[in-house]
Amino acid sequence: MSREEVIGTIMEAIVRQDEEALAQNVSKGLEQGVEPLVIINEGITPGLRKVGDLFANEEVFLPELVLAGQIVTEVMHVVEAKLRGNGAESLNKGLVLMATVRGDVHDIGKNLVILLLKASGYEVENLGKSVAAETIAKKVIELKPQIVGLSSLLSTTMPAQREVIETINESGVRESVKILVGGAPVTREWAEKIGADGYAENASEAVIEADRVMGYR
Amino acid sequence: MQPRLKILSDPELLKIDQASRALLKEVGTYVPHEESLEIFHQAGANVDPKTKVVKIGDRLINQTLSMCSSCVRLYDRKSDEPLLIGGDRVYFGTVGIATNVLDFKTNEYRQVVCEDLKDIIRLSDVLEPPDFILVPGTPTDVPSAIVDVIETKFLLMNTRKHFIAEAQNRENTKKNIAMAVEIAGSLEALQKKPFFSTLVCLTSPLTLREDATELIIESVQLGLPLFIESGPMCGGTSPATLASTLVMANAELLSSFVLAKAVNPEVPLIYASWARILDMRAATCSHGGPEFPLLRMATTQLGKYYGLPSGGGGILADTKSIDVQLGMEKLGTGLLPALAETNMVVGMGLFADENAISLETLIIDYEITGWIRRVMAGIEVSDATTDLAPFIEVGAGGSDFVSLKHTRDNFRKEMYIPTIMDRGFLALDKDPETRTMRKRAREYFGKVMGTYSPPELPDDIESRLDAIINR
């Protein structure tokens, strides 16, 4: 199998959410000497992106998107181990703090974003749901993340996203972190209004937006 | 348990049956057709040759009903498995007396032409449902004397599903059959597995027209199935109570069954009705109001009372545009008859009070029937569907069930996955009209027809069918 074919089968396995085929083809690629970064950048990332697109297009369903994220997260451990074995630096794209804001207990969407961020090479600290602004600000000081992701499903809890940004401002660490907001009622206009650095409409876009604010794309 | 509805009690059904029998015996049926009068006479009915009124007694009705099958097998050209019409099975079909089409491209009404008929038959062929196709449009660019046989030609050439043909007289009935024989290979092959049946529309009040009786006789002699419909309008062509309308719709059907069974006791018959109301404000018949599904559930129950396969109108709308009213009317007039187990619900694609069809409404009706089928399937309660395993896996106060294998294994079985309904979140910064059902129906049309290929037939089939039409 040529290098292009191996990469193609990796993409396909992700699109089909076929855990076994994904593991086999990634191992095969690594055995054949395909560079781990090539596997990630040309096979895994586009594969996951494709599943995200299919989800946005209503052709792949939520449990399947989650499964794709899970199997990619698993296989990324293998590829990263190979990267480190080659003496390269870890793939870690940065630390993201994720929270559903105070008053809001909806976290299925936020958990999906976490899964796709992890599958894309980010380290994620999940602060949970209905998290107070003060708690988030403290964690920013303590863990020094590159990104804070704030989720809100209810229009009534959207103002809590602004509170978090204000509290982080007051803590004096605003410049050290990029803040992304999301959730069903959230719009780009709202994100700009409250001084967030980025916004995404869905989980797949959230990864792209994270890459954008980090300067990866 | 699967949810089902009845609106008439057993004593009420008996009362309607008794009144229909009294009507057939006391008032009778007007049959202006000598051959049919003779058939009724031979069968034992009381025939008045002067008034041409046929009065039928209980014994003949009972005899007729005893000859009827509770299940009619409707074949198609796709497989050897017929649609079994009867019992608790519910199938959805198109219908198309309409001569107008809401043009897909211009969004304006215009007259139906042959090309429209072809398009809508092909769309009906690819969507599931429709499970069968009743002529879904009446083209206006062919001579009216042969429009029915042209329709049959288009059906034969563009679908393998079972279809219900129209025929306006004996000659055209013969031509329909001859064309079907051309496709089947022989009359015997067609008789063995008839892949089409013929629609009979009865006339109210209490009339068996000459063309209808000739159509019945011609088809029945060969044992080809009939879909017989009565369609009195409450307050117009039947008395102004829904119950009397049922009494008459039932009597009309029973008299036509007597004629058909007198000619051929073996012929498969389907008991169908479009009994409806005359709207007293608009002076037109209405198919979208609450009376329509009430009457449909009731005629279905009457069919079942006699152990007959049932059918009738449903998924209909009076509205003249693809709007909120359309959704309301079509769901109401589709869901209720389906829950009453009307075996053949016909109406997909039709709207504007029977006057128009469109490709978009057919796709919308495809979605509506899918929604209805999911309701009909009910909620499965079993050890498997109440298993503790997923609860244990997530635990009290756990995260969510989305990522469970149990979810992946079950969601498609348990949940209806819509094709064109919009369920996305409210995008406040976007045009709320971007994902309307109608727009999504148009997009789906392109998607579904993009890969469609019509039935494969011999190259010379069209000329052979045309030769029959032009005889």
CATH of the domain at B235: 3.20.20.480
Domain with CATH 3.40.50.280 in chain A: 95-214
Length of chain A: 217
Domain with CATH 1.10.1240.10 in chain A: 3-85
Interface predicted TM-score of the whole assembly (ipTM), two decimals? 0.83
Residues of chain B with C-beta less than 8 angstroms from the C-beta of A67: 403, 408
Task: Tell whether omega for the bond before B129 is within 30 degrees of 0, i.e. cis.
Answer: yes
**How does pLDDT run across A91-121, given as a tens digit for each residue?**
789 999 999 999 988 888 898 899 899 988 8
Q: Which domain covers residue B358, as residue numbers?
A: 66-377+461-469
Strand partners, B70: none
Cα–Cα dist B358/B330, whole Å: 14
Q: Do B425 and A107 touch (CB under 8 A)?
A: no
Q: Does B408 touch chain A (CB under 8 A)?
A: yes
Question: What average pLDDT does the structure give for chain A?
Answer: 92
- State which fold the A3-85 domain adopts: 1.10.1240
Choose between A12 and A204: higher pLDDT: A12
Note whether residue B361 is domain-resident.
yes
What b/e sequence results for A178-214 when a residue is b if at least 16 CB atoms lie within 10 Å of its CB, and e otherwise?
Answer: bbbbbbbbbbeebbeebebbbbbbbbbbbbebbbbbb
- Bridge-based pairing of strands B284-286 and B276-279 is antiparallel
Q: Does A184 touch chain B (CB under 8 A)?
A: yes
- At B160, list the tokens: 């393998």
Residues of chain B with C-beta less than 8 angstroms from the C-beta of A19: none
Note whether residue B89 is domain-resident.
yes
Note whether residue B20 is domain-resident.
no
Note whether residue B31 is domain-resident.
no
Which residue, chain included where needed, has tokens 């009144």?
B19
The whole-number pLDDT of residue B109 equals 96
| Mean pLDDT (whole number) for A123-145 | 96
Q: Do B400 and A184 touch (CB under 8 A)?
A: no
The whole-number pLDDT of residue A2 equals 86
Cα–Cα dist B184/B190, whole Å: 6
E strand or H helix at B239, and its extent? Answer: none
Count other Cβ atoms within 10 Å, centred on residue B456. 6
Q: Does A57 touch chain B (CB under 8 A)?
A: no
Q: Do A187 and B427 touch (CB under 8 A)?
A: yes
Note whether residue B391 is domain-resident.
no
Please return the burial class of A147, using the count of CB atoms within 10 Å of its CB with bins 0-12, 13-18 and 19+: buried
Q: Does A185 touch chain B (CB under 8 A)?
A: yes
Note whether residue B416 is domain-resident.
no
- Tell me if A161 sits within 8 A of A152, measured CB to CB: yes
The whole-number pLDDT of residue B125 equals 97
CATH-assigned architecture of domain A95-214: 3-Layer(aba) Sandwich (3.40)
| Mean pLDDT (whole number) for A41-48 | 91
Name the minimum distance, in Å, from the CA of A39 to any CA of chain B: 25
Q: Domain tally for chain B?
A: 1
Smallest Cβ–Cβ distance between A66 and the set B402, B425, B426 belongs to: B402
- The parts of chain B modelled with pLDDT lower than 50 are none
Task: For B123, list phi and psi in degrees, rounded to 5.
Answer: -65, -40
* Contacts with B149 (C-beta within 8 Å, 6 or more apart), sequence order: B167, B172, B175, B176, B179, B468, B469
- Bridge-based pairing of strands B350-351 and B344-348 is unpaired
Q: Check pLDDT > 90 for residue A139.
A: yes
Length of chain B: 471
Q: Do A63 and B429 touch (CB under 8 A)?
A: no
Note whether residue B387 is domain-resident.
no
Q: Do A61 and B411 touch (CB under 8 A)?
A: yes
Residues of chain A with C-beta less than 8 angstroms from the C-beta of B426: 184-185
Interface of B with A in 412-431 (CB under 8 A): 412, 417, 425-429
The whole-number pLDDT of residue A13 equals 97
- Tell me if A165 sits within 8 A of A176, measured CB to CB: no
